Structures are given as C-alpha cells and as structure tokens.
Amino acid sequence: MLTLPDMKTFVPNPHRRRFLTGAAGLAGAALAVPVAARATKLPGIETASLRGSITAADAGIVAGTLDDQSRAFARLIEKSAESDAPVFLPPGTYVVSNIKLPPRLRLTGVPGATRILYGGDGHLLMAENAEHIELTGLVLDGGNRWLADYAPGLGVFRRVANLTVDNCQVIGSGANGLVLEKVSGRVERSAISGAADSGIYSVEAGRLQITGNSVTDCANGGILVHRWKQADDHTMVIGNRVERIAARSGGTGPFGNGINAFRADHVMIANNSIADCAFSAIRANSSGDIQIMGNNCARSGETAIYAEFAFQGAVINANVVDGAANGISVVNYNEGGRMAVVSGNVVRNLSTKGPYQADPPGFGVGISVEADTTVTGNVVEDAPLYGVHIGWGPFMRNVSATGNVVRKAGTGFAVTVVEGSGAAVIADNVIEDAPNGGVVGYRWTQRATDDLTRPGATAVPNLTVERNQVG
C-alpha cells in the first residue's frame, strides 16, 4: 500500500472515492463513460503493428463489447511476458479491471482509438517490482468510478526499473491519474485530465523524465514530484502544459498547485506553460539545488512561483508571471531556506486578493527574498503592495538587488530594518510610480524609515542604497 510522506506541503489523498462533481467543475461531458464502440478497422492497421506481436484476437478478446474481459486480458499479457513479445490492441473499447502487469510488458494501441475502460471493483492497471514496462498509444479511462483504497491512481507503478508511458491518455480517474513510486523512466507526450486528485504523482523517483505532457482539469494537483525524506531526485519536468488545477480539498496551499516538488533535490522544472491554478503554478518545498527556468505562469490564485522552507540552492530564471496574488517568493530562512538567484524574470499584474486571508505582509508583492540571494535583471510591474520585498523581521542575510526595473508598485523596494537582520545592497535599480517610496525600511509590517533614495535620508548601517533612479 502506498505510504505518503508526512509533509508541510500536502500530498494528495490517494483514497478518494467520490466522482468529480459540483463546483470543482472538472468532470465534463468529455469524461463521461463512453458508449461501447464497435471495433474499427483502419487501413493498414494489421501491418502497422509490430512484427511478431501478440494481438487481442489471439486471446479471444473482442473490442467494442461491454462484457468484462479481465481474465482474457490477463492471459494475453501473461502470454506476452513468457515470450517477451509486444502486445498490440486494435482500435476499440476493452472493459477490464484488476489487471496486474507482468515484470516485462510492451503494450501498444492506436493513439486515441484503443480505449481500456475501467470496469470498477478495485483497480485498473498496477505493476510492482517490474523490469521494463511500456504503454504506448492507449486511452486509460477511469469513467470517474470508485477505486479501492489500495489503488491510489488509475495506473499505479511501484518499483519499476524502466517505465515508458508515451502518447497515452489518462482520463476520469477517481483518485490520481498516474502514480509512480520508486520509478525510473519517462512519461511523455501524454494527456492526463479529470483526475479527482493529482494528474501525475511521483514519489522517490530515480531520474524520471516528465516531458511534453498535458495535465488539465484535475481536482487537487497537476504534476507532483515528492520524496519521503529529502534527497537527490533528479526528475526533469520539462515542456508540459498544466491548466485548470483546482484545490477541491481547500487549505492554504497544500492543494491546487500546477507543479509541486517536495523534499526532492536536483529537480529541473523548465519551459512549462502553466495557467489557472488555484494556488501556485510552481511550488518547491524543501527542495534544494532546484532550477525553475523559462516557465510561463498565468493567472495563479496565490504565489505563482515558490521556493520555500528547508532548501539550499535555487535558480529562478527567465520566467514570466502574469496574474497572481504574489509573484515569486524565495523564503523561510527561519527554516533554513537560503541561497538563490532570481534573475531575468517578468512579473506583472498582481492582486491584493487571494484564496484565503493573507498572512502579513499580505498579497500584492512582486518578488520576495530573504537570505544569500541575488535579485537582478527582473522587471516587476503592477505590484500593489511591494515591488521587491527583502527580508522579514530579523530573517535577512546577504541580499543583493541590482539592475531591476520596478513600475507601478505601492513601495518599490521594502527592506527589513529589524535588529539582527543582515546586510543588503539595493543599487542601480530603476523605480517608477511608487507612491509610498522607492526604497523604504520596515519593521515587520510597519514603515520605519523615510524613502532611503532621497537626499539626506538617514542611513541604515546594514544597508547600502545607492544609484537608484526613482521617477
């Protein structure tokens, strides 16, 4: 049974039994249980299958019938394992349940036309202690049906040395879409939608690639890369499209994130398009040496990009954030969060309204940083509270903020001046239309200095504020 990490950031509950309904708005007509389809003969389909493959007809399996064909399907894949031959499923719908995959399997269908429909009463596909599993060109349809407590997803893969899921669709899962525990391999070019929890949930991966997928309309999370204890993970999450991720289970951030890394070091999250997530587009919790680069994040409900809690080392570069409560937050020095580069990002159109009552200092902040961090070459526009927020109370050390452009912000740069805070350099920035001041010192949420860019302003010992252009 899958044991989920104990964590500050939520791991979606794998034991959900309810269908997608109501306000979550995630189960549309496209996810309804399909009417049984007649087997379709496509020109050349027989010759398109792999030479020497085993077909459904060899096991007496007939596509397009609503009869449960689980036993025949199980015999089919067992036969393939004996000879290490690939299995080809012609177009049509195959109703099956409780399929345990053999240690070696290559199961291929016709993309968009070969549908494996979950018949209920347990799980759909599950593999454990496998060597090599490939699923290609299949539609895995959960029909929004209940899954047993031991089945945290529609496709569950535990301890698989080499897994490939390619050009598949996973729709209508009553829990997670795909669950990968201690898996190496790749999930690519696939579409996961309508999951009652997360689309793809990976825990304890071994250099996994999650690339070129579409993950949409999931109730609690998009792509999750987690570990039970903080350690190297090396998962690559690249070039995916993640959209319309809800937080049906509520909370203040454990649910509703497009891409979430937790306790997973050396993860790369790059070149993804992420939109309309209830909370963060990208949330990295206690994940060190993480790279978050080149992502496009639109209309996030809370903080668009997070690096938080016990991390050491984060590069957040060349991302676009358009629409969020907060833009980019690199925080929790009090928990050991430190060492980051925040550079070349565009952050705009922020709001003071979020999905819950905000903790101080509030929503509407462009970029927040705290310790051993450089903030350079960013553009922040329309940040109602602060353009750049540096430190929190005494939690600030070795911050350099140079060469940034801040426009239309309540305060351009807000920096802590609480006793015990460390050093910061705020220099060579361009600040325009900041009615509350270009650079201002704060004691927690209370303004404590005049605008430090003004001639004659009283200097603060731990701060260097120079050569900023304020208009």
Higher pLDDT: 368 or 49? It is: 368
If you average pLDDT over residues 38-65, what whole number do you get?
62
Q: Determine which of 239-243, 303-307, 355-359, 412-416 has the lowest per-residue pLDDT on average.
A: 355-359
Contact predicate 118/124, CB 8 Å: yes
Candidate from 22-36, 106-120, 163-177 with smallest mean pLDDT: 22-36
Residue 37: C-alpha distances to residues 49, 65, 73, 139, 363 (Å): 21, 7, 18, 13, 51
Per-residue pLDDT band for 301 (boundaries 50, 70, 90) equals very high
Q: Band the pLDDT of 3: cuts 50, 70, 90.
A: very low
Give me the residues paired with residue 341 across strands: 315, 374
Residue 40 has pLDDT above 80, yes or no: no
Residue 62 or residue 116, greater confidence: 116
Percentage with pLDDT > 90 across the chain:
83
Under a CB-based contact definition with an 8 Å cutoff, are residues 333 and 307 in contact?
no
What count of other Cβ atoms lies within 10 Å of the Cβ of residue 214?
16
Q: How confident is the model at residue 60 (pLDDT cuts 50, 70, 90)?
A: confident
What's the pLDDT at 76? 93
Per the CB < 8 A criterion, the answer to whether 258 and 223 are in contact is yes
Q: pLDDT class for 59, splitting at 50, 70, 90?
A: confident
Residue 213 has phi, psi (to 5 degrees) of -100, 165
Q: pLDDT above 70 covers what percent of the chain?
A: 89
Residue 327 has pLDDT above 80, yes or no: yes
pTM above 0.85, yes or no: yes
Is pLDDT larger for residue 48 or for residue 72? Answer: 72
Banded pLDDT at 65 (limits 50, 70, 90): confident
pLDDT of residue 215: 98
Residue 48 burial (CB count, 10 A) = 12
For residue 37, what pLDDT is reported? Answer: 36
Residue 182 has pLDDT above 60, yes or no: yes
**pLDDT-derived band at 51, boundaries 50, 70, 90:** low
Average pLDDT score over residue span 1-7: 44
Q: How far apart are CA 419 and CA 342, in angstroms?
A: 26
Q: What average pLDDT does range 99-126 have in this prediction?
A: 97
Is the pLDDT at 109 greater than 60, yes or no?
Answer: yes
Average pLDDT, the chain: 90
* Residues pairing with 88 in the sheet: 55, 108
**Could you read off the pLDDT of 335-392 as tens digits, one per residue?**
999 999 999 999 999 999 999 999 999 999 999 999 999 999 999 999 999 999 999 9
Mean pLDDT of 233-245: 98
Confidence at residue 44, expressed as pLDDT on a 0 to 100 scale: 43
